[in-house]
Structure 1
């Protein structure tokens, strides 16, 4: 699968006329592809939408090339953007959670992609006295953090939907 993935990435990045390089890291259930290019902004796009779309495309191509057996999800990162964004989201989610605990008032966040909402849901689920749910549809889908203890190992319906959407974006 690694050879096929290299071929797909070479073709797509060449087609996009991007200069740069990439590294593959094979994990148990996925491949992490770290792309380094001077055109990072163009490849990432607004709010990471271009990167999400490219990742979806790569996963669909790989799914067709490999079939269900041996398929591993491909996660793309450009110039460390996604890794940095994940770290920022974890810290922001903790701050948002503290704010809700201090004020006792719900907090509606700006719209986020499914993988970003999933990270926020996971952080909030670990905090006592808080719950979170997704609201809205499509590009307007966002998280509402609420006071009230909902610490449970069972995901809420909105967390389940975000997790499925995140997997679909990455699969």
Structure 2
């Protein structure tokens, strides 16, 4: 049985209900080989850690999707379920599977630094490919610490991307 914990204004019943709903979503997606664990991290966010069964021949790819799009969609659905009918503050939800988010953050950080170096050396703007808001936030945060570089998001909707500019 997955761990369940109590935190702030949420009681054990609410956590158990959310756990059940996430399990139901995974069943409907046909990924019963993935087990959710609902808990609370150091932040105010509710954490849903998904683990792929060791004996499964399937992988985490179906949940991650293209550059994490399916994972973000699942996160949004779980947040809607958690916050539906609740009054007051919106409780944030973070869904991860087998450490994907940490790996993605590392990849984006490395990309951002390579492209910033390229912008500094060439004295030209660098346009990155379109990214999700979460991915853009990671890049902006990483590059905000570099002297001589500014970043901005450009475009709309699914075409929104980051422009790295040398100062």
Residue 31 of structure 1: how far off its partner (Å)? 1.9
Aligned to 1:93: 112
How far, CA to CA, are the matches of 1:96 and 1:25 in structure 2? 36
Runs of 4+ in 1 over 3 A off after TM superposition: none
- Residue 125 of structure 2 is matched in structure 1 by 106
Structure 2 CA distance for aligned equivalents of residues 57 and 140 of structure 1? 23
Structure 1: unaligned runs, 5 residues or longer:
149-171
Unpaired segments ≥5 residues, structure 2:
1-13, 53-57
Check conservation: 2:120, 2:149, Cα contact below 8 A. yes
Once structures 1 and 2 are overlaid, which stretch shifts more, 108-117 or 10-19?
A: 10-19
Q: Does structure 1 residue 130 correspond to structure 2 residue 149? A: yes
2:84 aligned counterpart, secondary structure: helix
> For 1:74-94, what per-residue CA distance to the aligned partner results, in whole angstroms no more than 9, with x for missing partners?
111122222210111112111
CA offsets 1:31-84 (integer angstroms, 9 cap, x no match): 222212234111111121111111111101111054435x53111112222221
Q: Secondary structure at the match of 1:17?
A: coil
Deviation at 1:13, TM superposition (A): 1.1
Among residues 18, 22, 28, which one is paired with 1:5 in the alignment? 18
Which moved further from structure 2: 121-130 or 22-31? 22-31
**Residue aligned with 1:115, SS:** helix
Partner of 1:51: 71
Q: CA deviation at 1:134?
A: 0.6
Counterpart Cα distance in 2 of 1:4 and 1:67? 18
**Residue of structure 2 in register with 1:15 after alignment:** 28
User: Please, what is the CA RMSD of the aligned residues?
Assistant: 1.6
Alignment partner of 1:33 out of 26, 33, 48: 48
Q: Tell me which structure has the larger Cα radius of gyration.
A: 2
Greater RCO, 1 or 2 (C-alpha within 8 Å, sep 6+) = 1
Q: Hey, which of these two has a bigger chunk of helix by percent?
A: 1
Q: What's the TM-score, normalizing by structure 2?
A: 0.81
- Matched with 2:38 is 24
TM-score, normalised on structure 1? 0.79
Q: Which range moved further: 80-89 or 25-34?
A: 25-34
1:64 has 2:84 as partner: yes
